[in-house]
Each structure stands twice: as structure tokens, then as C-alpha cells.
Chain A
């Protein structure tokens, strides 16, 4: 090794270490001067505040660590919902932009230009307060299908109450495993004998029949709990029973997916347009139907262009979900970097944990998408 090559690297490393050292030393001295102690022990203390919506059981008697989990799960929940809807809307709009129909094409174009050019925070406020203004009070709500109640206090949906839920879940897992085996078998059969198996209909059939069998023979039983209106005061009502989705979650998921979908739509459009015309013409000339052209020739190539920039959009959506604090959706920032930080005053500890958490979330999404990208990349044989 050449010393001329190593020396600059070492010096850079030294400078970085010195900078970090300076800042942590500085923080330590300042905190000592103001009588602030440092430590993560507070995580096991009783949190003594409540949260309006959580996926796991939580109240003030639980620890700050559990409050952190509540916030984290809520962040993941809204991100997953947002990613699913953003992808669906994005793909539809992206393909619509390529349509030969002028109206569809223009509508998609206007949607993209409109939603991606307005700051996200404004859109979140718009959807939240628009929802609050537009939604009826609980007592004025017209039920949808008799069991869904969309009100200003939230979207109340029926809940299932299960007996032997585990057997039901096993039956679904069994169905999924058998589908995987059938797919492998079908592919081999096609490669060896050239015969296509109707995999899709078999899969759907399995997914319906196996869980149904668990109902008939496995002792699985589900009853539905429908929300019931409850009077709180002379003018105030709410619903009891069932599952409640707060309006904050609905409007945040809506704003995030509508905003991110515009970027995904552009990725999809670019991806499809990136496949050269000759490919489609060649596919058509060997007698593939338009559907097969899209499925077997265009999409596999387009996906390779679409995936990497779409990964970025998924990361953005996850990070943007931290704007939740503005409209009272109890995500990681509101619960942990908000209330918990305020009650404990442990700014450095809590902000560092929050930063690490977002970093890990982003890296996990990134790793998964990279894996998927590699899987669909051209495999040279």
C-alpha cells in the first residue's frame, strides 16, 4: 500500500472523529453546567399520559418504552397504508397518462401537476380540516351498508370477534404454502412440456376453500360486532364497539398517498416509455396478444426502470408521515419526540432514538426494494 494513498484517508477520519468528539464533549459540558443528567433509564419509567389510538394496549401506567412502540407502530401503519394506496393510484395514473384517450390522458396530467406542486403540510391540513368540515356528527350519520359509520369522530367499522383464530390463520398459511408449491410445479411443467396451468384460479380457489374448511371442521367461529351509537350529552354522541379509525389517520393516509402517487405515476410513465418501441413491435410480430405484450415483454423491462426511483418515493412517504404531529395523529414524532420528550425533558436521548428509528425504517425499506430490484433484474444465462 502506498502511504500517499492512506494518509489523506487517515487524516479525514481523524478530523471526523475530532468533530464528533468536540460536539459530544461540548454537549456534555453544557449539560453538566445546567445540571442535566444523561441516560436512557427513563424508558422504563411510567409514562402517565394516554394516547388516542394505538395498535397495542397502552395507557399511562405503561412505560415510555411502550409509548415509543405505540408511536412506532402507528408510523408504520400509516406508512404501509400510504405506500399501498400511493402505489395503486400511482400505477393507474401513470398508465392513464400514456393513454391515447385525450380526456383520460389530460385528467391524469392535471392531477399530477396539481398535487405534486402543493406543499404536503398544506395538503394534510386541507384534507384534515376539509374532512372535519364535511363529515357529519355521529347522530347525523347515514350508515353505509348498515354497519359502517363515517363521522367527524372517526370511521367506525364492525369488528370480528373470533373463536379459535389460530386455526383460521394456520389454514391461510397452509393455503399460501401450497400455492407456492403449485407455482413452482406449474413453471417446471411449462418449461418441460410447454403446458400452461391455470395457476391464478387454483390459487384463489385454495385461498377460499382452506379457510372455509376451517370454519366447517376446525371449530373456527366469528361473530360481528357492529358499532352502536351512544349518547354522551344532550348534543354529543359517539359510537361504541367495533373498530374506530380516527379521522386523523384517514386524512393523513389520504394526503400522503395522493401526494406520493403523483411521483410514482411519473416513475411508471418514465418506465413504460423507457422500453423501446421495437420491443413491443417485435413481441406483436411473433403473435403475442396486447395483454401478453404488456405482461411478458413491456412490464418486466419497465419495472427495472420503475423500482429504484419508486423506492425513493416509499422512503419519502415514510419520512413525510412525521408531519402527523400537526393534525394529532399519534405517530412516533407526536407520541415519543413530542409528549414523551416534553414530560421527561430528555431531548438528546429521545431525538437520537427517533433519528435512529427513522434511519432503520428507511434502511429496511431500502434493503427490501433492492432485493426486489435484484430479483427482477436481467439474469444473464
Chain B
């Protein structure tokens, strides 16, 4: 009888452990991702393998860019420090699998929001941080001034596994032009092949073209054609099934845009606490209990603005001042003729 006692105890212990796990997961069901992030002490963020202005690492390994700033904003809101982010560079091909298999918690990697991605493969898009569209870059001396000059047999370099591949087909098909698609897994190889003369044109999102142009051997010999052949709303993505985490990421991004709308910057955020405008006071946490609704403290939005800045500051720092796209185009506030319009934080 005693012979089996030991086994019996360990069995009981195992069952007990199992039960604790189940009850624990049920209690934490509200947001497993938030809880894990707080436990780890950093936000796990998937970014590109180097796209200047959006997500790019310098020689010292510091990441900068508007996509990077979204993850920094979430880190500031959730952990109190915008630097507590672990960046994982991902190719276009790897990005969704990395997110759905729990390698990262936010994918902020110039990713186009489409129906099939949103609905079919376990992802949720939380918003748009850059309105873009696909364009074509060609050599200046080709004499092309419009996509209407393209002829049968043109070869086009682009990235593998992107909406670009699909748009390109739709475009050339509608024009009745036969073309040769040359698709690489990494952007650096696309640039190198186009630069060497393998392709007549390089096609991707226009922001990407502007950013990659800097990497060409003589950027001034190339132009981006005026036409835009698709809508590419780029934004951060989270896993489906954790709506609290989804809300945190969505409202971290919205806070940055709303802060610009109300003129709250990283410099003046503290002084705005005494503003007369209740919307501004809510934004810096001086009024209301908005943080509690997300399971955060009330200073979450103030920290985002102070540590990362508002959307305009982020755009200026990463995209305008680096000479990639000095003109904000559609990525201007709705009050200034653009289409950036976010729901009110109240």
C-alpha cells in the first residue's frame, strides 16, 4: 500500500498544478498579452528589416521610424518607458506567422490593411498610421514620364509576399501589358538588382520607394512616376482574440494623432494639464478616468506624448527631416486638408 503512496501524492500534486493553471488563465483572460508584457518588462514588436523613416536600425542598434514609434508609444503606456521594446526584424514573408505564433505582440511593419488579412488569418488591424499607395520608380534617362509609357516585356522588381505582387498583376492586366515580375525575399536585394539594371522599374509602396531611393548608387538618376495604382493603408496589427490588448494599441496610436490635433507636444504636455480645454485635459490625464478603461493608470497618454511625441513630431523626426517625404500629403490632419481622423478620446 505504502509502495504506491508516493506516486499517488505526485499525481495529486500534478492535478493541483493543472487546476491552478486553469484558474489562473481564466482570471487573466482579460488580457493575456498585457499580463505577459508586464511580466516580461518589455513590448515585443515586429518591424521591417530596414526601411528608413518607418523602421530602421542605426549602427548602434537603435531603432527609429514612425512604425517603431507606435511600439514605443505602447511601451510608454503599458510599462512607463518608451525604450522597453524588443524589436524583431521580419521579412514580409515571416511577419504574420511571427505574430500568430506568439513570437511578437505587435506587428508594426508597413503592413497593408486588407479584408482577407483582417478576417482570414487570425489578425486584427487596429488603425492606420500611414496612408500610402503603390507607385513605380524608373531611371530618369528612360524617358518614362507616366505608367502609360510602359511597353510589353517590361521587367519589374519587387518584394515577395506583399500586396504589391497582386496590385502589379491587376495593373498590368488592366493595361494589357505583358511583364516580367522579379520578386526577392529581402528589400536590399530588390534595390541591388534594380540598381544593377536587372529591372526596368521598381514597384512598391510610394513611401518605400522614397525611402529605398536613398540606398541606390546615384539616387538622383531615378524618379518616382506620379501615378498611384492602389490604396495602401499601413498600420499596426495584433493577434485576434485579445480585445483589451487590441484597444491598448489602437488608442496608443490614436493618442499620438489626437495630441497633434490639439497641439499637445512632448515639450508642452506637462503645462497642458492646466489647459481650459477639457479634451486636452483628458489627453494629458488631468481629467477623466480613461486609463482605467484600458486597465492602465491615468498617466498612460501623458507618457506617450512626453516620451514619444505626437504624430506630427514623429513624422517630422523620421520622415520629413530625413528627406524621405517632406510633404505629408494625405498623412496630414483632417483639419489641415489630410485624411488623418481619429475617434475622440473620451
Contact = CB atoms under 8 A, between A and B. Distances in A.
Contact of A132 (B93, B122, B143, B198): B198
Contacts of B144: 233
Contacts of A339: 160-161, 165, 183
A345 B95 CA distance: 11
B149 to A, nearest CB: 7
Main secondary structure of the interface of B (DSSP, over half): mixed
A161 interface: no
A312 B152 CA distance: 44
Given A49-B165, A50-B181, A153-B155, 11 more contacts: A34-B240, A50-B169, A52-B155, A52-B183, A234-B142, A238-B155, A240-B153, A326-B184, A326-B185, A338-B161, A339-B165
Interface stretch (B16-24, B189-197, B311-319): B189-197
B182 A328 contact: yes
B103 interface: no
B166 interface: yes
B143 A233 contact: yes
Interface of B: 92-93, 96-97, 100, 116-117, 120-122, 138-139, 141-144, 149-151, 153-155, 157, 160-162, 165-166, 168-170, 173, 179-186, 189, 192-193, 196-198, 200, 239-241
A101 B179 CA distance: 52
A327 B100 CA distance: 27
B139 A338 contact: no
A116 interface: no
B236 to A, nearest CB: 17
B200 A236 contact: yes
Nearest to A342: B161
A128 to B, nearest CB: 8
A202 interface: no
A243 interface: no
B3 to A, nearest CB: 21
A247 B240 CA distance: 42
Given A152-B198, A153-B155, A235-B142, A52 B180 contact: yes
Given A36-B122, A233-B200, A50 B179 contact: yes
Interface in A327-371: 327-328, 330, 334, 338-339, 341-343, 345, 347
A153 B97 CA distance: 34
A353 to B, nearest CB: 16
A232 B184 contact: no
Nearest to B184: A328
B96 A345 contact: yes
Interface of A: 31, 33-37, 48-52, 59-60, 129, 132-133, 137, 152-153, 230, 232-236, 238, 240, 246-248, 325-328, 330, 334, 338-339, 341-343, 345, 347
A227 to B, nearest CB: 11
B241 A34 contact: yes
Nearest to B122: A34
A342 B160 contact: yes
A343 B192 CA distance: 25
A326 B180 CA distance: 18
B240 to A, nearest CB: 5
A34 B99 CA distance: 11
A60 B179 CA distance: 12
Contacts of A248: 182
Residue with the highest number of chain A CB atoms closer than 10 Å, among B100, B161, B170, B189? B161
A222 B193 CA distance: 37
Contact of A153 (B100, B170, B185, B198): B198
Contact of A328 (B92, B100, B189): B189
Q: What are the 6 tightest A-B residue pairs by CB atom distance, in nearest-first order?
A: A345-B121, A342-B161, A34-B122, A234-B143, A233-B142, A132-B196
Given A52-B181, A233-B143, A327 B200 contact: no
Contact of A235 (B141, B151, B170, B180): B141
A347 B181 CA distance: 23
Contact of B169 (A33, A49, A133, A342): A49
B120 A342 contact: no
A152 B180 CA distance: 14
A27 to B, nearest CB: 10
20 contacts: A34-B100, A34-B122, A35-B122, A35-B241, A36-B120, A52-B155, A129-B192, A133-B196, A152-B198, A233-B138, A236-B139, A236-B200, A238-B154, A326-B186, A328-B183, A328-B193, A334-B160, A338-B183, A339-B160, A345-B120
A347 B94 CA distance: 10
Contacts of A236: 139, 142, 154, 200
B198 A34 contact: no
B241 A51 contact: no
A57 to B, nearest CB: 13
A34 B239 contact: yes
A53 B277 CA distance: 62
A303 to B, nearest CB: 40
A59 B157 CA distance: 17
A191 B179 CA distance: 62
Given A50-B179, A326-B185, A232 B153 contact: yes
A322 to B, nearest CB: 12
Contact of B154 (A232, A334, A345): A232
A226 B120 CA distance: 48
Contacts of B196: 129, 132-133, 152
A234 B139 CA distance: 10
Nearest to A151: B197
A52 to B, nearest CB: 5
B183 A137 contact: no
B14 to A, nearest CB: 16
A37 B120 CA distance: 8
A37 B179 CA distance: 34
Contact of A48 (B151, B166, B186): B166
Contacts of B181: 49-52
A35 B170 CA distance: 29
Nearest to B196: A132
Nearest to B195: A132
A230 B178 CA distance: 14
